[in-house]
Structure 1
């Protein structure tokens, strides 16, 4: 397909038209008095939203150059959403004002590169001024207020405050669609991972189809266990001590080894449970180390020169209870050393800070929450599909806003914090007049949300 080319003022004008269209559509959702926007779908019911980035993502313009401008402004909203999870409308309004003022000055003959330099210097100064205004929030009531303002719903605010209070700041809270009409919350006690029992013969409760073992020893093995003779020495050591409860976490247990465990279970010799290890590759190794730290055990790995036949009872972890279903396993009350658990959590926090991948960061945060024992699910219910999606979206936005507030504090809303930051730009000294114009552009942009 042949490429279309436009230059200079014509190019800027057409890009600006696309930017304007996105900005005007998104700006209607600004603040607590912002309007809702209905988004048409090719299939299914329309979506009602109050979220700037959701509106921006739906906009595709017919003119390719206008569409290019629209995509550029979308990027500002999307990036803000990725980092903070909310505040996308404000980011769009600020970006739009800077583009509008910048293009005016370029048309009047200003040097675009010098304008950019001035804008960047002023934006950095204003960002620091906003951070300096931040007030830490700690109490449950303050958290409820932040969430309620974001969601425009007191019930959602109090629900999020309650959940965050229970799971702690390192906890993971997921939002799902529920079956009822209201909100439901589920808390996962202990460390849970998404792998279940290897054989239904391990089930102890036929009604719930669960395998529950109280006060078990826990063998954590990195590889597959197939040979019975590898397991027999450990089983004998346990029986000699009068211990019958054993949980095996391994890549897989099959063949003679599985037959031996099932036979001993059915005969009542051992109360045993074998579950598959979570994750894959390096992530599996890391998660097994987490389980080892939590339970006070050791990961049996040939890489570390450890063989299954040489395992001692001291290498096994301990827990108050292990519950396994077909799809997941929960370890409750691990007997690991408190200091070792804190050290492991600190290691994961450092990894989170260094990680450049959103996916890796999310998985690390999940591991941190599991070690801290803080995992919760909020189930959102509603009368219709449209209402359900809109409500779920508000809960997700409120959750993101609240997390950001707990992490970095809060500032006055309604554009007041941005107005207060304007005075900090008085200290920005630039060498060239066009750079100083860039600073003035940021000054104008900071006033835009208030208007």
Structure 2
């Protein structure tokens, strides 16, 4: 039977806290370089599969996502924790554990204050918390330091990847060289090792249509030199429909890259005959990326870089226009200039096609940047849409910008199981987002020290009194919890350590690995300002809203 629960006043808030407590305890233990692991048995409807679907991890977001309870009241608190942490992940890709700790601390502290004073004006307390948030964010902006070296980026990467040097080295190199717009894809390695691959050119996520065009049957890729490019969003059925293209390419002695929605058997047979007779220098067929208008957009990207134009119904252009443009003499723009692009070299593998950019001129650079600006406007427009796939769509648009700027890269991960692969993938994602965030907004001393410093050294409650001051103090005390958790997870008494830090400058902090006070910057213990601000902002937003709860209505299909 369905469960319908209605609770009021403190009982409603305590129900929320019961689930938050469990989620907080589960994820808190993972924080810091000496944080502990959590062992998770993932659910599978096949009992035999579930026996082997076990993961051991200290990745905060993985732990949060794995939390479930048969008690609907406890599950509510867990779901709220998932919601706030998921928001942080989507915005910056890291900081989930810090978000969870701050959220729980603010909410539970406010509830304790309300228990002590049943006449407490919770809305004024909430206002105080929000005022405190603005002041903390302002202090973080003041303390932020810009990334000035590869080493600083590497330090951020080491912390966010839980000390994995291989991952940190790769991510640092890719982002330091490619900038914050670089797009990094993570895939499973098929060669027994972890490695990275940088794509120096525009990338299409489509490989060769048929291996028959490879030099040897067992080749993994083919490189075309001096390449003419023809693309269409339509199917190619007969060679006659684009014969002038073949005749032109044959006449100038270049290679040909054909990109189309599909290649029908008749067309394939004719092209294979041309290849076997050696009528062209070289040829490769690739299916157009994506579908319909998305395919058209990506092919427009391609031609903005390499010249020519896509043949597409979206521009009211068909193959007869191609044939006509080649047959008209003394035209303003001959067919080969109107429809054909050019690349010095094209590398085609089974999974992708990378087109080398022509010589970079001011004109070409301007064309690329103009196209990138067009896509950026679409990203902004997509951000205004309230759709379930908004974030996915924005990610795909950013990938197009990365491809246009030749900043698409791939990290291939060697793992012995799917569970291990997913755990490493999560750490790489955390690492990538933290490093990009640091490049965008700078960094501060890490290990929880910056929030602790603001809490103890800045008068956040200046000019406030009463319940608003209480709200600021609730937030101020919560800022110390991340550093408490980091030191506590190292089995060290945090009270004495943290007390000694209160008289020191910001860059002095506790390194749990050496169990002593160090210069955090010299030791490479730094955090991204954007990650800290996002974690704090989301934690405060959720906690300050929930503390005003006076009634809980829980409708669940859960059977008790």
TM-score, scaled relative to structure 1: 0.89
Mapped contact 1:244–1:269 kept (Cα < 8 A): no
Is 2:215 the partner of 1:191? no
The number of aligned residues is 448
Q: Is the deviation greater in 257-266 or in 405-414?
A: 257-266
Evaluate the alpha carbon distance shift between residue 67 and residue 327 of structure 1 in structure 2; reply closer, same or farther with a 3 A threshold.
closer
The aligned residue for residue 524 of structure 2 is none
Q: Distance in 2 between matches of 1:201 and 1:383?
A: 33
Is 2:356 the partner of 1:332? yes
Q: Is the deviation greater in 218-227 or in 310-319?
A: 218-227
Q: Distance in 2 between matches of 1:70 and 1:314?
A: 60
The aligned residue for residue 12 of structure 1 is 13
Give 1:27 deviation, angstroms. Answer: 1.3
Is 2:378 the partner of 1:351? yes
Q: Distance in 2 between matches of 1:140 and 1:113?
A: 46
Q: Is the deviation greater in 384-393 or in 143-152?
A: 384-393
The aligned residue for residue 142 of structure 2 is 132
Mapped contact 2:303–2:310 kept (Cα < 8 A): yes
Q: Distance in 2 between matches of 1:161 and 1:50?
A: 22
Deviations 1:126-159 (A, max 9, x none): 2232133211114221111111122224443333
Evaluate the alpha carbon distance shift between residue 144 and residue 344 of structure 1 in structure 2; reply closer, same or farther with a 3 A threshold.
same
Which of 102, 108, 113 is 2:123 aligned to?
113
Q: Distance in 1 between matches of 2:382 and 2:462?
A: 34
Mapped contact 1:319–1:335 kept (Cα < 8 A): no
Mapped contact 1:317–1:335 kept (Cα < 8 A): no
Mapped contact 1:231–1:257 kept (Cα < 8 A): no
Q: 1:323 aligns to what SS in structure 2?
A: strand
Evaluate the alpha carbon distance shift between residue 299 and residue 102 of structure 1 in structure 2; reply closer, same or farther with a 3 A threshold.
same
Evaluate the alpha carbon distance shift between residue 221 and residue 310 of structure 1 in structure 2; reply closer, same or farther with a 3 A threshold.
farther
**How large is the Cα RMSD of the aligned pairs?**
2.8
Evaluate the alpha carbon distance shift between residue 298 and residue 123 of structure 1 in structure 2; reply closer, same or farther with a 3 A threshold.
same
Is 2:78 the partner of 1:70? yes
Which of 283, 287, 293 is 1:272 aligned to?
283
Mapped contact 2:202–2:354 kept (Cα < 8 A): yes
Q: Which runs of 5+ in 1 are unaligned?
A: none
Is 2:59 the partner of 1:23? no
Q: Distance in 2 between matches of 1:86 and 1:128?
A: 21
**Equivalences for 1:24-173 in 2 at 5 Å?**
24-42=25-43, 43=50, 44-107=52-115, 108=117, 109-150=119-160, 151-173=162-184
Q: Is the deviation greater in 228-237 or in 5-14?
A: 228-237
Q: Distance in 1 between matches of 2:225 and 2:479?
A: 60
Give 1:275 deviation, angstroms. Answer: 1.9
Evaluate the alpha carbon distance shift between residue 276 and residue 179 of structure 1 in structure 2; reply closer, same or farther with a 3 A threshold.
closer
Which of 240, 252, 255 is 1:242 aligned to?
252
Mapped contact 1:177–1:381 kept (Cα < 8 A): yes
Evaluate the alpha carbon distance shift between residue 353 and residue 133 of structure 1 in structure 2; reply closer, same or farther with a 3 A threshold.
farther
The aligned residue for residue 313 of structure 1 is 336
Q: 1:449 aligns to what SS in structure 2?
A: helix
Deviations 1:25-68 (A, max 9, x none): 21112222322222233412531221222222222233321221
Q: 1:299 aligns to what SS in structure 2?
A: coil
Between the two structures, name the one with larger relative contact order (CA 8 Å, sep ≥ 6): 2
Which of 208, 214, 230 is 1:219 aligned to?
230
Is 2:435 the partner of 1:425? no
Q: 1:129 aligns to what SS in structure 2?
A: helix
Give 1:291 deviation, angstroms. Answer: 0.8
Mapped contact 1:180–1:382 kept (Cα < 8 A): no
Give 1:207 deviation, angstroms. Answer: 3.6
Is 2:423 the partner of 1:396? no
TM-score, scaled relative to structure 2: 0.73
Q: Is the deviation greater in 322-331 or in 74-83?
A: 322-331
Q: Which runs of 5+ in 2 are unaligned?
A: 44-49, 326-334, 384-389, 485-560
Which of 263, 273, 289 is 2:273 aligned to?
263
Evaluate the alpha carbon distance shift between residue 198 and residue 85 of structure 1 in structure 2; reply closer, same or farther with a 3 A threshold.
closer
Q: 1:114 aligns to what SS in structure 2?
A: helix
The aligned residue for residue 240 of structure 2 is 229
Give 1:222 deviation, angstroms. Answer: 2.5
Deviations 1:67-108 (A, max 9, x none): 212221222222112212111111111111110122123332
